[in-house]
Chains A and B, each alone.
Chain A
Amino acid sequence: MIKTNLFDDYDQGNEFCEIFGPAAAIDDASLLAKRLSKYKIRTLNQRNRAAERELHNLGITFTIYSDAGAIDRILPFDPIPRQITATDWEKLDAGCKQRVTALNAFLTDIYSKQKILKDGIVPSDLVLKNQHFCKEMMDVSLVHNTYTHISGVDLIRDETGEFLVLEDNCRSPSGVSYVIENRHLMMRSFPDLMEGMKILPVSDYGKRLRGKLMETAPPGIQNPQVALLTPGVFNAAYFEHIFLAREMGVPLVEGRDLIVDDQDRVFMKTISGLVRIHVLYRRIDDEFLDPEVFRKDSMLGVPGVMRALKGGKVSIANAVGAGVADDKAVYAYMPRIIDYYLGEEAILNNVKTYICREEDDLNYVLDNLKDLVVKPVGESGGYGIVVGPKATKEELSAIKNELKKKPDNYIAQPMINLSVCPTLTPNGVRSRHVDLRPFVLTGEDSWVLPGGLSRVAMREGSIIVNSSQGGGSKDTWVMR
């Protein structure tokens, strides 16, 4: 009988592979590669089906509501893990901390003295006219100057294996629940694969998060009460809100459960009366947060919570107005921002970015549209992205017109070939593109969850990994 190897038909092309390394020097000597190669495809399929069924039954889902009722969907799960070496992780950990430290310094500055704007490092209008810039936050002082308590740093990896920052997320980045649930799932479904592997644990995320949030509580409070503010069961990410409240052991509240009294204190309505809240981890957008200040028609928010924030009676994570720092337009300036506040070179490089508001860059972009990825600024979830090499003529000419009309709305980046990872598909194990979103928690200082969310584009050749566009996820192993 011929001995089959799981990777017999696997071809990573010219890409960097998360298990076998660069195409030029394929290395199948790792323990993970050796163990995986012994699995039969049928075994993998069987266990994968069992794992996905378990996701459904445990309700590890995002929910789509329609007239026909609630549909619970799982994020497609791929059973072949992605591996990060200890050396790589050391650099990622330091790089993510550095980046978030600079982001917080930047936010502190632009909401007070605005030195970086006065010094001309970042164009003023880019910040002050940004839709996420919040005038209400001017000169509001925050504990430890922390604006982005929970940050997601989206990374990709080029052909050489270098990690590059694709974007920052300072407005309630989601996905961390999948990181932890994927690990639980792997431990249940593949104990034989994991046995003896030295993988850094992810299970203390909830405890760490609660600790970091408590560090940012208004000063002088003995045992600060943290609560997680959700828009409610209709939110697609509701499972994650449940997950985090449960992992932290804090109440999950909605706007209608809270009141702000005439002394600007925030309370929740309990069966034993009103109970004070000191830190609010909110998973609702700025504009819905406080109908007294922002959208008047918001049913999700808490009237008066901005008064409480300004009076130092409550801390809000992430801070209102933090979104200005994760804008794709500001992103282009991050290497300079890091240098300006920390006097350091960026540990993690940006992807080369053309700022279409600058004439030279715009001309370059218009001339080289075919080879570039054009992204609207101020959007998230992968919407409105035009991938030059894969776009039709019509799409290219449409984006050309848009660029000429509203250059400020766009940035462009060269086409980067995302790294790949062996992935289970209906046709066997094939290479699929992956990215990585580590999660950084910041109170007095920062902590990075080992690994992060590895999203995988389930369609062949696709580099769009967003769950809203059909992406799946993998367990991410940071090796000790």
Chain B
Amino acid sequence: MLLSRYAENAFWMGRYMERADSLARLLMVTESFAADQENDEAWAPILSVFYDTEAFNERGKPLTALNVARFYLNDPTNPNSVASAAHMVKENARALRHLISTESWRQISIFQKDIIALQKRRFALSQLSDICYQIRNGYFSHRGIIEATSFRDEVWRFNRLGAALERADQVTRLIDIKYFRFDRDDDHHATPPDVAWWNTLLRSVSGYHAFQRRHSFNADPADAAKFILCDNHLPLSVTSAANAAFYQIERLERDFNAQPGPDVLKAAETLQDRLNSPPARLSGRPLHKFLDQVQVDIMGLANALNERYFSPA
């Protein structure tokens, strides 16, 4: 009985909230890693993995850590910023007001108000991680409130479906920061990241300690890649996120008579097969290619969902 339009709102509300958190994590990773480097070069890859280099240059600002951080944190004209994501969460929630809990609306309003306040602040780089923590805390209360107060209806399913897909997508980009340079076989500048970088990354997906427990003392970076991508016990892994998405599709059919249809099922299967058979060695060019293909599969699934549920005849 849910209107297609609201299903779409719920889906995107989930996606944008996840995006705000992922961006905050991405900035924290970059900041903590770039801290002991002498120039701001460490910030350029973020622009590349989001295909944002051109958009950033259009703003005519030099490529400094602070400018890139501001571009992704509080630039409302950048559709891929935390500020834009928070705005879109609010606007989608606004349309859904009568279908979501008052507690979650209240939290979203306050969250967005905080982000707007941030927009007015000219923060220094030293404050970046504090700000990112604040955003992440907003995300955590959001998830908690959603979990604790949402009626488990179609709105909930679509919201969690959108969130899961976005999470899957964003984690691949997080890893790709160090691997997109392997795009070309002949790129000799591409150097694999060291253990320190992987540790930072593991911490950013709340997987560092679990990884230490799971793996031998002298674990390989490729093990870390596999862990973050495919471990189904790690809630932020791509596999976990994708499985969560598949589960929501299944429940939509089972509980709400909203059959996914052949295109959605096929797209989901493609993604699932891909994640079930990663390349033997997850490093270098094969890893980059794999991440790329996963992203394409996720996009394919999102398109199929859009066709099936959000664009009724």
Contact = CB atoms under 8 A, between A and B. Distances in A.
The answer to whether A and B assemble together is yes
B98 A242 contact: yes
Interface string B110-134: 1000000000000000000000000
Interface string B1-44: 11111010000000000000000000000000000000000000
Contact of B3 (A58, A238, A243, A268): A268
Nearest to B116: A69
B301 to A, nearest CB: 16
A269 B312 contact: yes
Interface in A244-275: 245-246, 251-254, 256-257, 268-275
A389 interface: no
Query: Among the interface residues B95, B99, B154, B312, which one has the most CB atoms of the partner chain A within 10 A?
Result: B312
Contacts of B154: 271
B94 A233 contact: yes
B4 A58 contact: no
B227 interface: no
Interface stretch (B48-56, B66-74, B101-109, B178-186): B101-109
A242 B97 contact: yes
B257 interface: yes
B309 interface: yes
B258 interface: yes
A158 B145 CA distance: 50
Contacts of A257: 3-5
Nearest to B110: A57
A251 B105 contact: no
Contacts, number: 61
B1 A253 contact: no
Contacts of B94: 59, 233, 238
B91 interface: yes
A233 B95 contact: yes
A325 to B, nearest CB: 30
Contacts of A273: 312
Contact of B2 (A233, A245, A271): A271
A56 interface: yes
A245 B98 contact: yes
A273 B259 CA distance: 10
A274 B4 CA distance: 10
B110 A271 contact: no
Nearest to B7: A271
A57 to B, nearest CB: 5
Contact of B97 (A59, A251, A268, A270): A59
Given A257-B5, A272-B257, A58 B95 contact: no
Interface in A332-367: none
A238 B93 CA distance: 13
B256 interface: yes
A58 B105 contact: yes
Given A57-B106, A251-B1, A254-B5, A271 B98 contact: no
A257 B4 CA distance: 8
Nearest to B95: A233
Given A56-B109, A57-B106, A58-B105, A272 B1 contact: yes
Nearest to B105: A59
Query: Among the interface residues A242, A256, A270, A273, which one has the most CB atoms of the partner chain B within 10 A?
Result: A270
A239 B95 CA distance: 10
Contacts of B102: 58
Contacts of B99: 246
Contacts of A272: 1, 256-258
Contact of B1 (A238, A239, A246, A275): A275
Contacts of B97: 59, 239, 242, 246
B1 A270 contact: yes
A256 B5 contact: yes
B104 to A, nearest CB: 11
A57 B258 CA distance: 34
A300 to B, nearest CB: 14
Given A242-B98, A271-B258, A233 B91 contact: yes
Nearest to B102: A58
A253 B91 contact: no
B109 A270 contact: no
Contacts of A57: 106, 109-110
A238 to B, nearest CB: 8
Contacts of A274: 312
A242 to B, nearest CB: 4
A238 B91 CA distance: 13
A242 B105 CA distance: 12
A269 B311 CA distance: 9
A251 B110 CA distance: 26
A56 B94 CA distance: 13
Contact of A270 (B2, B91, B98, B252): B2
Contacts of A251: 1, 3
Contacts of A268: 3
B254 to A, nearest CB: 13
Nearest to A274: B312
A419 to B, nearest CB: 34
B51 to A, nearest CB: 27
Nearest to A54: B106
Interface string B58-102: 000000000000000000000000000000000100110111001
B98 A252 contact: yes
Nearest to A275: B1
Interface in B142-201: 154
Given A59-B97, A233-B91, A270-B3, 10 more contacts: A57-B106, A57-B110, A59-B105, A59-B109, A257-B3, A271-B2, A271-B309, A271-B312, A272-B1, A272-B258
7 contacts: A243-B98, A251-B1, A254-B5, A257-B3, A271-B2, A271-B309, A272-B257
| Smallest CB-CB A-B distances: 3 pairs | A246-B98, A242-B97, A269-B312
